[in-house]
Each structure stands twice: as structure tokens, then as C-alpha cells.
Amino acid sequence: MNFKTFLRTLVFLLMLFVVLYAGMNNIEEISFSFPGVLQKSVRAQAGIIFFVVFAVGVLAGTMLHGGGKARGGSKDK
């Protein structure tokens, strides 16, 4: 494992900790609306909504990052 991979993993774990910490301390229900996608507002615990928004962002980033075609051979061995 190279340093760049280690640093990315460390930053990702730090982001997961922030989401977990926010979820543990925001247990009251909130209303979440997303006009154009959701017809009605969603009422759920704030921590659950934080996690869902984070998960959607991670999935979108993964698809954007891994969506290209591989050119040439791999240099990491």
C-alpha cells in the first residue's frame, strides 16, 4: 500500500467518524425536503438523514472516480 492510498483511507475514516458523531448527537426528528425528487417531506432522525446524504455522496464520488476506461497497463504492482 502506498502513502496516497493510506492517506485517502485515513481521510475517509475521519469523514465516517464525523457522520457517526453527528448522528449520535442529533437524534431528534427533522423534516427533509428535496423538491423535484421527493413529492413529500421526509421526517426522520437527523442522524439517519446525515448518513443517507453522506452515502449518496460517497456513491456518486465513487461512480465519478471509477467511471473512466483504463488506458495502458497498471503501474501499481
The 10s digit of each residue's pLDDT in 12-34 is 888 888 888 887 888 889 898 98
**What is the tally of structural domains in the chain?**
1
Q: How confident is the model at residue 75 (pLDDT cuts 50, 70, 90)?
A: low
Determine, yes or no, domain membership for 22.
Answer: yes
Q: What domain range is 33 assigned to?
A: 3-55
pLDDT of residue 67: 62
Report the predicted TM-score, pTM, of the whole model to 2 decimal places.
0.62
Mean residue pLDDT across the chain: 82
The C-alpha atoms of residue 14 and residue 35 are separated, in whole angstroms, by 31
Determine, yes or no, domain membership for 33.
Answer: yes
Q: How far is CA 16 from the centre of its chain?
A: 8
Determine, yes or no, domain membership for 73.
Answer: no
Q: What DSSP element (H or E) covers 44?
A: strand 42-45
Determine, yes or no, domain membership for 13.
Answer: yes
Determine, yes or no, domain membership for 9.
Answer: yes
